Amino acid sequence: MPESPRMVPVYLARIADLRVGARVSVRCASCGHTAELAAMVLRERLSLDLLVKRLGPQFRCRNCGHKGARVNAKEALGYYG
Per CB under 5 A, the segment of 8-16, 34-42, 56-64, 73-81 that binds Zn ion is 56-64
Q: Are 14 and 50 in contact (CB under 8 A)?
A: yes
Q: Which of 29, 41, 24, 33 is nearest to 79 (CA)?
A: 24
Residues 17-36 that bind Zn ion (CB under 5 A): 28, 30-31, 33
Measured between alpha carbons, how far is 40 from 29 in angstroms, rounded to an integer? 24
Q: Is 7 in the site for Zn ion (CB under 5 A)?
A: no
Among 19, 27, 43, 66, the residue binding Zn ion under the rule CB under 5 A is 66
What residues line the site for Zn ion (CB under 5 A)?
28, 30-31, 33, 61, 63-64, 66
